[in-house]
Amino acid sequence: MTDFLLKIILTLLKRKPKPICHHLKWHFGIVPQKYPVIQAVFPSYRQGCVSLALQQYLSSKTRRFSILGINATDTNMSLSDFIHPDSFSQQTEGPVQYNDVETSDKNNISCPELALYLVREQGRNLAIFVKHNRGEEEFVVEVMAKQREFSEQFLADLRRLTDAHSIYKGKVITMQRSHNYNGDITVSFQNLPRIERKQLILPNEVMDGLEHHTVRFSHHSKHLLARGRHLKRGLLLYGPPGTGKSYSIMYLLGIMKERTAILLNGSACSALLEDACELARTLAPSTVVIDDADLIAEERTRRQGNQVLFELLNQMDGIADDADVLFLLTTNRPEALEPALASRPGRIDQALLIPLPDRACRTRLFELYSQGLPVAVKDMQKFVDQTADMSAAFIRELLRKATLLALEEGVQVKIQDRHLERAVRLMLAGNGLSGKLLGNQTLPLA
């Protein structure tokens, strides 16, 4: 290596990082001190969606861009700070900081945390600044251009692409608010078991009502709109514990794959309703599931000043009539619910009882839960009759207990009448508490 090349390398190594203002001056041709800066603020849990949208925007063949990281002690800076005379030399270029956001397929999206994009497109130059402080609720995108309408058009395109390329679209998700200082929201993907129609043992009229207000409604959504009918709607599933309300929800979510599903629990959704409903509006067609709705939508005479109930009603009313948003609520205590939930169109339009199984359904349940088991029961109908007023969950657990009792006698022993009889006695022991919890409505509790 010659001394000349060595000097060049040493010079490059010693080169000080250029101020961000220098890059902006080169990009726009002047120091853009009078250029307007506008911003869009997104919830932090949408960082991955915005980053994908930005990638899509920059992928256009008509656009060229460069990306800069920023060295700065103050991460709360704004794009306008880079062009303030007092800070010309303070913020300099540096490495781009990334945050990995997981998607539903367990892949990661590398999202810039603090970065400046310099974009050129047919004389329309933009400076796009993205920033996100970990642990904070907001992901901010700022944009600068010579003319304000250029920036406004970019943000409109970004919002549209953010919705179209959302990592949550068509997925089943849950939302949680953390207990840290900022109380930021995290979103998790859920892989629910696929429930086939034959696994959902309900009377035919109940199955028909279940599918009518959900699947068939969505199938005809365009024609309903064309005839001036609103799309937002609500369905309440009520009935004793263990009858299949959760199974019904999983079945519906499984066959309505095109819909984004947001799962909330009554006891934990008080601080999430606004964000969940906003996300549902954005990603429609969508479904908002609120399990144990009586925990937040209790009748006002029972709980004075129920702010969560008011928020739920406001969110339901705030969704546009043409938005295909479905609310699915479940409860074991329909008598405790606030009547106002059904007082306006688009709230709860239909309530559907998920009943204890009748004799025909109990026969089908024994057949379903016996599949794959070595069964040698002489008179299964005897146990069908014995489980009158008992839920599907009770019958499922009954066969599991009988399986265990047979295994305790030997791995080759088949399930026989005596195993089912003993399983019934075990489940009704202790004053019937197990049976009561699993949906037997005839067992008293002391």
- Average pLDDT over the chain, rounded to an integer: 84
CA distance 337 to 299: 5
More confident: 13 or 134:
134
Angle at 275 between CA 271 and CA 276, to 5 degrees: 95
Q: How confident is the model at residue 254 (pLDDT cuts 50, 70, 90)?
A: very high
Q: DSSP assignment of 230-250, as one string?
A: ---EEEEEE-STTSSHHHHHH
Question: Is 439 exposed, middle or buried (CB count within 10 Å of its CB: 0-12, 13-18, 19+)?
Answer: buried
Cβ–Cβ under 8 Å, residues 200 and 247: yes
Question: Average of pLDDT values for 422-442?
Answer: 66
The H or E element spanning position 265 is strand 260-265
Checking if the pLDDT of 92 tops 70, the result is yes
Model confidence band, residue 138 (pLDDT cutoffs 50, 70, 90): confident
**pLDDT tens-digit profile of 147-194?**
999 999 999 999 999 999 899 999 999 988 776 545 678 899 999 889
Among 89-93, 173-177, 302-306, 338-342, name the one with the lowest average pLDDT: 302-306
- Dist CA 66 CA 240 (whole Å): 61
Widest distance between CA atoms in the chain: 99
Beta bridge partners of 353: 238
Rg of the Cα atoms in the chain: 30
Query: In the predicted model, what is the mean pLDDT of residues 268-276?
Result: 81
Poorest-pLDDT segment among 111-115, 362-366, 408-412: 111-115
- Which of 126-135, 267-276, 431-440 is the least confident region? 431-440
Please state which of the ranges 13-27, 262-276, 364-378, 418-432 shows the lowest mean pLDDT. Answer: 13-27
pLDDT at 433 over 90: no
Distance CA 314, CA 371 (A): 47
Torsion sign, CA atoms 263, 267, 273, 275: negative
pLDDT score for 142: 96
pLDDT for res 363: 95
Residue 219: partners with Cβ closer than 8 Å, 6 or more residues away:
none
The residue ranking higher by pLDDT, 130 or 181, is 130
Q: Grade residue 73 by pLDDT with cuts at 50, 70 and 90.
A: low
What is the predicted pLDDT for the residue at 436? 52
Instruction: Tell me how crowded residue 298 is: count the other CB atoms within 10 A of its CB.
Output: 19
- pLDDT at position 335: 81
Cβ atoms 242, 387 nearer than 8 A: no
Q: What is the mean pLDDT of residues 230-238?
A: 88
Where are any strands of DSSP class E within 239-338?
Answer: 260-265, 286-291, 325-331
Check residues 34 and 135 and name the one with the higher pLDDT: 34
Predicted confidence band at 443 (pLDDT cuts at 50, 70, 90)? very low
pLDDT of res. 123 = 77
pLDDT score for 82: 84
Which H helix or E strand runs over 282?
Answer: helix 273-282
Residue intervals of the chain classified under CATH 1.10.8.60 are 359-437
pLDDT at 435 (0 to 100): 53
Give the pairing of strands 260-265 and 185-189: unpaired
Interhelix angle for 417-427 vs 392-409, to 10°? Answer: 120
CB atoms within 10 A of CB 444: 7
Query: Of 55-69, 149-163, 263-277, 423-437, which range is least confident?
Result: 423-437
Question: What's the rounded Cα separation, in Å, for the pair 150 and 124?
Answer: 7
CB of 298 closer than 8 Å to CB of 339: no
pTM listed for this prediction: 0.83
Range 105-119 burial, b when 16+ CB lie within 10 A, else e: eeeebebbbbbbbbb
Lowest mean pLDDT among 65-79, 353-367, 403-417: 65-79
Distance of alpha carbon 171 from the chain centroid: 7
Residue 444 confidence class, pLDDT cut points 50, 70, 90:
very low
Percent of the chain exceeding pLDDT 70 equals 84
pLDDT of residue 87: 58
10 Å Cβ neighbour count for 232? 23
Average pLDDT for 419-440: 72
pLDDT in tens, 273-320: 888 989 999 999 999 998 888 777 666 555 554 677 777 788 887 788
Angle at 57 between CA 54 and CA 58, to 5 degrees: 90
pLDDT band at 4 (very low <50, low <70, confident <90, very high): low
Asked whether the bond before 203 is cis by omega within 30 degrees of 0, the reply is: no
The domain defined by 359-437 folds into Helicase, Ruva Protein; domain 3 (1.10.8)
Place of tokens 């406004």: 152
Q: With left for phi above 0 and alpha for psi between -120 and 50, is residue 2 left, alpha or beta?
A: beta
Task: Quote the DSSP letter at residue 371.
Answer: T
CATH 3.40.50.300 in the chain, residue ranges:
188-353
**Minimum mean pLDDT range among 75-89, 154-168, 195-209:** 75-89
Residue 114, phi then psi, degrees to nearest 5: -150, 100
Mean pLDDT score, 204-228: 89
Q: Please tell me the class of the 188-353 domain.
A: alpha beta
If you average pLDDT over residues 76-98, what whole number do you get? 77
Question: In this structure, are residues 399 and 416 in contact, taking their beta carbons and an 8 Å threshold?
Answer: no
Residue 168 near residue 263, CB atoms below 8 Å: no
Helix (H, G, I), strand (E, B) or coil at 100: strand
- Report the length, in residues, of the chain: 446
Q: Are 150 and 45 in contact (CB under 8 A)?
A: no
Centroid of chain to Cα 381: 43
